[in-house]
A and B are shown apart, each in its own frame.
Chain A
Amino acid sequence: MTVATVPTEAAPTAERYLTINNIEVIYDHVILVLKGVSLDVPKGKIVALLGANGAGKTTTLKAISNLLRAERGDVTKGSVEFKNNRVDQLSPNELVRRGVIQVMEGRHCFAHLTLEENLLTGAYTRSISRSGLKEALEKVYHYFPRLKTRRGSQAGYTSGGEQQMCAIGRALMAKPEMILLDEPSMGLAPQIVEEIFGIVKDLNQKENVSFLLAEQNTLMALRYADFGYILENGRVVMEGDAENLRTNEDVKEFYLGLSSSGRKSFKDVKHYRRRKRWLS
């Protein structure tokens, strides 16, 4: 298999941070979902993981955070390293303590807990004092002022955008170095998506949190990310700087519905061409 590499100015090899080496994931002992995925997230960057439904984005994230095992998935080959240590056999609890946390697709807030209680559960792995906890809360409220105004409401009764903020805020309470963010734009109005991505960028720059971001919303993700990988059928088919991916003709045609001849309907995209190019 050949990976089409878009020429990059700065390859993300400067410092080894989160490295995934050729992992293969099998569900239920029979369904091969990831067929050898390798990727790198450098420290302090936002890396986007793009692709269509079923490409393997969520599976890749769950393979890193080790939530797979609860779903009868298994990493059968390859390795995941964080700061040069193998982390593929660690429990999610242990991984959170080391600073890698996942924000799951579909928000998954605790519906019957208030927003503030949701945030507090995020600090479960940290042994900090009451004042430290309060400080951590204030920090989250600083980035998500909307959570503060609604902190007493049960999470189940808040809007989708607030729930997404709550989920990210909850992860922040664990003081992570790296957040695996799965599909934050799901089911949200474009304006809210914009707001959330803005905050993600902010967190990245001010708190120095690295992000691995799985997204369907390719254009949006590439606008905020530093680097991108495109998954198809459980393989990385393309990688490169966000800037370059955004202007790449194939990406434009397949994921953004644009081509050299102007805007194009997905109906007209010639699928045989992508198969011939990428999966031969």
Chain B
Amino acid sequence: MRFFLEVLISGLLSGVMYSLVALGFVLIYKASGVFNFAQGAMVYLAALSVVGCMEKGVPLWLAIILAFIIMTLFGIATEKFVLRKLVNQPPITLFMATIGLAFFIEGLAPMVFGSDPRALDIGIVDEPIEAILNSWGMVISKFDLVAAAIAALLVTTLALFFQYTRIGRALRAVADDHQAALSIGIPLQHIWAIVWGVAGFVALVAGMLWGARNGVQFALTFTALKALPVLIIGGFTSVPGAIVGGLIIGASEKLAEIYLPPLMESAFGGNFGGIEGWFPYVLALGFLLIRPEGLFGEKHIDRV
């Protein structure tokens, strides 16, 4: 039982890390109805800029601020040079544009900051929390706990922002209907710049946590792939959904990795390993069949 709990908790905590990446997708999807294929690349860019600045002798806090400025400028530039030209185009056109953007970043970022994998030390050590280890006998990583706390804070802030502020409402309005938003005087340019800036900030947080855990390297761009099942389960349009989706994915993939192989081996014989790798996608597939808008996603409203 203790072992089960340990697996469950470490799964939940690692799920939060997926949620962070998924959150960036949700923001942009909510505000522009675009699936931003470049989110993984933005995570990479953010982590690289932090590491790159630190290599030049900049202290961590300043590197974070510089990286934030870079991500904000990047957001504004994306709006100005890519999105503005594509107002009122079908979503697929915008989607293709974000694919191009992903390739662009994946090429540009290593050119500026160097491409070799590097470690990122953000001052939080990845070691078990002693108190829990002593009294409960469970290994819970301090790093995971901090990451989870940061994610929780970020999500709460964003959810409140979307629900209750003037800009948040405008963001949701733009997501529903560009043209109508334009007609009542919401300037799409500002809104999109804001959203890409915020998504850049979320990418920065995700990039730093992932970079600190796995090292800053090109593989960070693939975090986006793990965010996909999270989005499908939680719903593309829901900030809390991204969190719940992440928790479900994190917990279920770890539990499946531990408890499924013995079952499957006794049923089919042979050797089953690496379930963690594909289990989230199968789960997402199941969700697509039963509840395509995800747990918290907005239902498509059709007039009949």
- Taking Cβ atoms with an 8 Å cutoff, the residues of A that contact B are 65, 67, 70-71, 91-93, 95-97, 101-104, 108-113, 117-118, 120-125, 154, 156-157, 160, 170-171, 174
Say whether B275 faces chain A, with CB atoms less than 8 Å apart: no
Say whether B176 faces chain A, with CB atoms less than 8 Å apart: yes
Report how far A95 CA is from B169 CA in the complex, Å.
21
Interface locus among B140-148, B179-187, B210-218: B179-187
A39 to chain B, nearest CB (A): 20
Say whether B177 faces chain A, with CB atoms less than 8 Å apart: yes
Contact among B176, B178, B185 for A124, CB-based, below 8 A = B185
Most chain A CB neighbours (cut-off 10 Å) among B166, B177, B182: B182
A170 touches B184 (CB 8 A): yes
CB neighbours of A91 from chain B (8 A): 187
Residues 278 to 299 of chain B near chain A (Cβ within 8 Å): 298
8 nearest CB pairs, A to B: A96-B185, A156-B301, A108-B180, A110-B176, A125-B185, A93-B187, A121-B173, A93-B185
Known interface pairs A113-B169, A124-B170. Does A108 touch B177 (Cβ–Cβ under 8 Å)? yes
Say whether B93 faces chain A, with CB atoms less than 8 Å apart: no
Known interface pairs A111-B301, A113-B173. Does A124 touch B166 (Cβ–Cβ under 8 Å)? yes
Q: List 17 A-B contacts (CB under 8 A).
A: A67-B182, A70-B87, A70-B182, A91-B187, A93-B185, A101-B183, A110-B176, A111-B177, A112-B175, A112-B301, A120-B166, A120-B169, A121-B170, A121-B186, A122-B184, A125-B184, A170-B184
A95 touches B185 (CB 8 A): yes
Report how far A108 CA is from B181 CA in the complex, Å.
9
A137 to chain B, nearest CB (A): 13
Contact residues on B (Cβ < 8 Å of other chain), bracket: 20 to 34
CB neighbours of B115 from chain A (8 A): none
Say whether B226 faces chain A, with CB atoms less than 8 Å apart: no
Report how far A71 CA is from B183 CA in the complex, Å.
13
Most chain A CB neighbours (cut-off 10 Å) among B172, B177, B185: B185
Report how far A121 CA is from B181 CA in the complex, Å.
8
Known interface pairs A112-B172, A171-B184. Does A157 touch B301 (Cβ–Cβ under 8 Å)? yes
Known interface pairs A71-B88, A111-B301, A156-B301. Does A121 touch B184 (Cβ–Cβ under 8 Å)? yes
B179 touches A104 (CB 8 A): yes
CB neighbours of B177 from chain A (8 A): 108-111
Contact among A113, A157, A170 for B176, CB-based, below 8 A = A113
CB neighbours of A111 from chain B (8 A): 176-177, 301
B179 touches A112 (CB 8 A): no
Residues 124 to 180 of chain B near chain A (Cβ within 8 Å): 166, 169-170, 172-173, 175-180
A149 to chain B, nearest CB (A): 20
Report how far A154 CA is from B172 CA in the complex, Å.
13
Report how far A157 CA is from B299 CA in the complex, Å.
11
B179 touches A67 (CB 8 A): yes
Q: Which residue on B lies nearest to A157, using beta carbons?
A: B301
B180 touches A104 (CB 8 A): yes
CB neighbours of A96 from chain B (8 A): 184-185
A95 to chain B, nearest CB (A): 7
A121 touches B169 (CB 8 A): yes
A110 touches B173 (CB 8 A): yes
A184 to chain B, nearest CB (A): 14
CB neighbours of B169 from chain A (8 A): 113, 117, 120-121, 124
Q: Which residue on B lies nearest to A160, using beta carbons?
A: B303
Knowing that A121-B169, A123-B166 touch, tell me 9 more A-B residue pairs with CB under 8 angstroms.
Answer: A67-B182, A70-B87, A70-B88, A96-B184, A110-B180, A117-B169, A124-B184, A157-B301, A174-B184
Report how far A125 CA is from B175 CA in the complex, Å.
18
Report how far A121 CA is from B191 CA in the complex, Å.
13
Contact among B173, B178, B183, B237 for A65, CB-based, below 8 A = B183
Report how far A65 CA is from B180 CA in the complex, Å.
12
Report how far A120 CA is from B184 CA in the complex, Å.
11
A104 touches B183 (CB 8 A): yes
A174 touches B185 (CB 8 A): yes
Report how far A156 CA is from B299 CA in the complex, Å.
10
Report how far A124 CA is from B168 CA in the complex, Å.
11
Report how far A32 CA is from B186 CA in the complex, Å.
29
Contact among B87, B172, B182 for A110, CB-based, below 8 A = B172
A187 to chain B, nearest CB (A): 10
B173 touches A92 (CB 8 A): no
Report how far A70 CA is from B183 CA in the complex, Å.
11
Residues 177 to 229 of chain B near chain A (Cβ within 8 Å): 177-187
A57 to chain B, nearest CB (A): 16
Report how far A186 CA is from B298 CA in the complex, Å.
27
A124 touches B183 (CB 8 A): no
A92 touches B176 (CB 8 A): no
